[in-house]
């Protein structure tokens, strides 16, 4: 009688791991697309961004545009790679989501509300990728 419960627990864990990985893939892809658009706006020096002079981390808006554009492209590529749950995509997803958190923290004075939202979304992506263990994906 214990065998069906073990099998059911294994398939439930497998479903949760797969669901969290798909969640992370979708969110990382969306985050990457938004970062690409944000990067293009920064490179074009759009009027959407707030100019702050008294912030410790003062950087050129065009430079921040390139940072967000590059991180966005990498995030989209890794997000697409996460749809096939591979270890390289999970590690890359955690790394790029961490870099997105750092970039958005440093760009808080330029676009504060959206930076906080992106930090939260990236935190959820990291959580979703780290909570599923490698053995949860084996058949």
pTM for the model? 0.76
Reported as a single tens digit per residue, the pLDDT across 84-122 is 878 888 999 999 999 999 988 887 877 788 889 999 999
* DSSP letter (8 states) at residue 53: S
Residues 60, 65, 68, 70: what is their CA dihedral angle, to the nearest 10 degrees?
A: -110
Reported as a single tens digit per residue, the pLDDT across 10-68 is 566 566 666 788 888 999 999 999 999 988 988 887 666 656 666 555 667 778 888 88
- Chain Cα centroid distance, residue 28: 4
Domain ranges in the chain are 27-46+57-137
Any idea which residue has 């554009």 for tokens?
A: 69
Nearest to 90 by CA among 34, 17, 41, 30: 17
Distance CA 116, CA 95 (A): 18
Burial class from Cβ neighbours inside 10 Å (0-12, 13-18, 19+) for residue 14 reads middle
What is the structure's pLDDT at 138? 43
Q: Is it the case that residue 133 has pLDDT exceeding 50?
A: yes
């Amino acid at each position: 009688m214990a065998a069906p419960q073990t099998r059911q627990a294994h398939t439930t864990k497998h479903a949760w791991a797969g669901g969290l990985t798909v969640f992370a893939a979708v969110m990382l892809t969306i985050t990457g697309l938004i970062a690409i658009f944000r990067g293009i706006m920064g490179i074009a020096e759009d009027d959407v961004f707030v100019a702050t002079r008294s912030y410790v981390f003062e950087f050129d808006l065009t430079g921040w545009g390139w940072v967000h554009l590059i991180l966005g492209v990498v995030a989209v590529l890794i997000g697409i790679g996460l749809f096939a749950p591979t270890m390289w995509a999970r590690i890359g997803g955690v790394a790029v989501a961490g870099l997105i958190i750092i970039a958005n923290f440093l760009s808080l004075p330029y676009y504060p509300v959206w930076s906080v939202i992106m930090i939260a979304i990236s935190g959820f992506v990291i959580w979703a990728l780290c909570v599923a263990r490698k053995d949860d994906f084996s058949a």
